[in-house]
Homo-oligomer: A and B are copies of this chain.
Amino acid sequence: MEAAPINPSDLGLLLAAADWKNPKVGGTPGLPTCTAATALSANALRSLSARIDVSMPVGNEGAGTVVAAGSARGAQALIGRTVAVLGGAMFAQFRTLPVDQCLVLPSGTTAREGASCFVNPLTSLGMVDTMRREDHKALVHTAAASNLGQMLNRICLTDKIPLVNIVRKADQEAILRAAGATYVCRSDSATFMQELTEALVATGATIAFDAVGGGPLAGQILSCMEAALNRSAATYSRYGSSTHKQVYLYGALDMSPTTLNRNVGMAWGVGGWLLTPYMQKIGPQTLQALKDRVAAEIKTTFASRYSGEISLAEALRPDVIEAYAKRATGQKFLINPTKGL
């Protein structure tokens, strides 16, 4: 393993929602340990009871060079090739995986370039595919200046899919505008609801993928979708628009409860969205087609940027933990398990 990103989806397992201010550092420089200073609440502990005292290897994805292979068909041919892999426990020096779980990167692609071939690329492709499967024609995305959001913006520009980006701040808007985004709405605007409604009228988007999860945002998106749909309603309908409006929560940047005002008619849904069941649903052939597209466009559409490249030992340094625990836009770390060896 030569490169493995710390994704938001790794942080729950890695940090267990503990408070990482002033942790206790122990072990040796080569094999450090890091323990949260304050205990988890009884409530948090209850939901984590099944993992107490259980070893939990972390790291959803990564890339590296095949150094040994078994006798399975095609396995020996991989020796020396740079491959991207998905499957957990990737924050490690070596990883053994079935040959068909290895995505061979185009020659000239480094492990760093191919480290994030799955989680963000397949999630953003999965959003576009889900939009089509569920008969929508345009997308809404929140926390849209994230690494994933920028990727989704590139896919939508390439595939000519109208995308409404929702961000919180001016610098996040600037990132997306510079990347060619047409619709960017800022939730810190006093006229956010009006601006979002106008963007929804213009695009016809009736499905959203929301990384924020908590607070009023998912409900606001549904309300604005309903307002946009009612703009063209000819007569009063007491049950609102009959067009289905959907928000999928795929993240939890805001851990507070989701609040829905329900001024959205009756044709609406909110639910969880997760990559793994999506991949199971579409089946191996469709999934391989998506992976092949990722490999082919890994230096363009699906390129990821990292704010730092760290060793496994550095990933346990308190200042580094503090940096990645923030889940801040533009703060994405790459673990290089060969660094410092």
Which of A's residues lie within 8 Å of B, judged by CB?
12-13, 47-48, 50-51, 54, 56, 213-214, 219, 230, 233, 235-239, 242, 249, 252, 257-274, 276-277
Could you say which of B51, B265, B272 contacts A268, with CB atoms under 8 Å apart? B272
Given contacts A236-B50, A257-B259, A262-B258, contact A268 B268 (CB under 8 A): no
Could you say which of B219, B242, B267, B273 contacts A266, with CB atoms under 8 Å apart? B273
Contacts of A239 in B (CB 8 A): 274, 276
Contacts of A47 in B (CB 8 A): 263
Given contacts A54-B236, A236-B50, contact A267 B262 (CB under 8 A): no
Contacts of A54 in B (CB 8 A): 236
Given contacts A236-B54, A268-B272, contact A257 B261 (CB under 8 A): yes
Q: How far is the CB of A322 from chain B (nearest CB, A)?
A: 22
Contacts of A237 in B (CB 8 A): 50
Given contacts A54-B236, A238-B12, A272-B268, contact A260 B262 (CB under 8 A): no
Given contacts A50-B236, A236-B54, contact A267 B277 (CB under 8 A): yes
The answer to whether B270 touches A270 (Cβ under 8 A) is yes
Given contacts A261-B257, A262-B249, contact A235 B271 (CB under 8 A): no
The answer to whether B258 touches A260 (Cβ under 8 A) is yes
Contacts of A214 in B (CB 8 A): 262
15 A-B Cβ contacts within 8 A?
A: A13-B238, A47-B263, A50-B230, A50-B236, A51-B236, A219-B257, A249-B262, A252-B262, A257-B261, A260-B260, A266-B273, A266-B274, A269-B269, A269-B272, A271-B271
Bound-state CA distance A310–B267 (Å) is 34
Bound-state CA distance A12–B51 (Å) is 49
